[in-house]
């Protein structure tokens, strides 16, 4: 059985089905992260001091706890991965499969760099006994960045599939495969946008 | 999308992607630089959110192709933004209503 509208646009929507599907999924993701962001706003406007008391010590700014240079580095890593992701799609549009694999491979690599750096950040927090249960600030920090990290892992899994076994489709249905990469890209850029808002609001303010 | 665009058109897109990349990197540095100025929180918040919104819009418009997307996608996104704003308004108004705007030490 053929799945309809994987390449051609559906006449009533004007887009192929997967594109509508991913945008609906991303809309639900906006509400997921939006709920947590609103929780963050709620907790923050209700606090006299932010981050406040942790382990008996008063912290007056997030930069006393979080490492801004590392956060900046990770922001640049994620932005770069968005560029390599869109370049992998553009390479397929230009019928260059080798470049596609190179760019998607770089995207996966950059995603790993992001996670490794985040892992170092987390372990540094744990060394100082900064756990989620220790303060409201740490709870929302770990929840937001943790959920974002899970999304990065999800992106790695999907992209790794399209880099490896899933790329066989290029030989049989190149247009459908190109659309798949566009969809994977839409998800990946969304993960980037979430970080674009997370970084300044949690690290810098 | 896959079948319609020609190679020259995609090459033009690639140039735009590079400009967007440079702009995103520049705006990231600007955000961090401004954070080190230790401006009053209201101004710091406004500037940080404005820059983040510009960056997010750049990614959504060019990398996610929203500049040339179909009407159905726009209508879903407008609905999403309406719900998101409602969520923020509800949460913030709940704080002023239930907690009476009191701060927790």
pLDDT at B46 over 90: yes
pLDDT at A205: 87
Q: Does the pLDDT at position B100 exceed 70?
A: no
Residues in chain A where the model's pLDDT stays below 70: none
Q: What confidence category does residue B104 fall into, taking pLDDT thresholds of 50, 70 and 90?
A: low
User: Is the pLDDT score of B4 beyond 60?
Assistant: no
Phi and psi angles of residue A6, each rounded to the nearest 5 degrees, phi first? -90, -20
Contacts of B32 in chain A (CB under 8 A): 68, 72, 204
Q: What is the Cα–Cα distance from A62 to A144, expressed in whole angstroms?
A: 15
| CA-based nearest distance A23→chain B, Å | 7
User: Length of chain A in residues, anyone?
Assistant: 205
CB-nearest partner of A35 from B11, B21, B87: B87
- What is the separation of C-alpha B51 from the centre of its chain, rounded to a whole number of angstroms? 8
């Amino acid at each position: 059985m053929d799945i309809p509208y994987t390449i051609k646009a559906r006449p009533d929507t004007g887009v192929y089905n997967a594109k509508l599907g991913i945008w609906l999924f991303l809309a639900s993701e906006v509400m997921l992260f939006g709920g947590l962001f609103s929780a963050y706003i709620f907790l923050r406007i209700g606090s006299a001091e932010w981050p406040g008391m942790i382990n008996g010590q008063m912290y007056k700014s997030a930069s006393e706890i979080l490492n801004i240079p590392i956060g900046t580095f990770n922001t640049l890593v994620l932005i770069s991965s968005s560029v390599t992701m869109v370049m992998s799609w553009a390479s397929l549009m230009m019928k260059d499969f080798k470049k596609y694999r190179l760019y998607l491979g770089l995207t996966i690599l950059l995603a790993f760099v992001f996670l490794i750096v985040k892992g170092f950040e987390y372990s540094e927090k744990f060394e100082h006994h900064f756990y989620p249960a220790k303060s409201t600030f740490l709870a929302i920090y770990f929840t937001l960045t943790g959920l974002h990290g899970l999304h990065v892992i999800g992106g790695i899994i999907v992209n790794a599939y399209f880099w490896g076994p899933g790329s066989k489709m290029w030989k049989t249905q190149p247009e459908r495969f190109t659309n798949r990469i566009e969809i994977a890209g839409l998800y990946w850029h969304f993960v980037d946008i979430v970080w674009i808002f997370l970084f300044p609001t949690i690290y810098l303010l | 999308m896959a079948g319609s665009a020609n190679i020259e058109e995609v090459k033009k897109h690639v140039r735009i992607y590079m400009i967007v990349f440079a702009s995103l990197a520049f705006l990231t540095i600007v955000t961090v630089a401004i954070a080190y100025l230790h401006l009053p929180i209201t101004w710091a918040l406004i500037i940080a959110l404005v820059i983040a919104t510009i960056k997010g819009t750049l990614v959504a418009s060019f990398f996610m192709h929203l500049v040339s997307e179909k009407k159905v996608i726009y209508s879903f996104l407008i609905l999403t933004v309406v719900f998101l704003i409602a969520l923020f308004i509800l949460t913030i108004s709940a704080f002023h209503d239930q907690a009476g705007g009191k701060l927790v030490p």
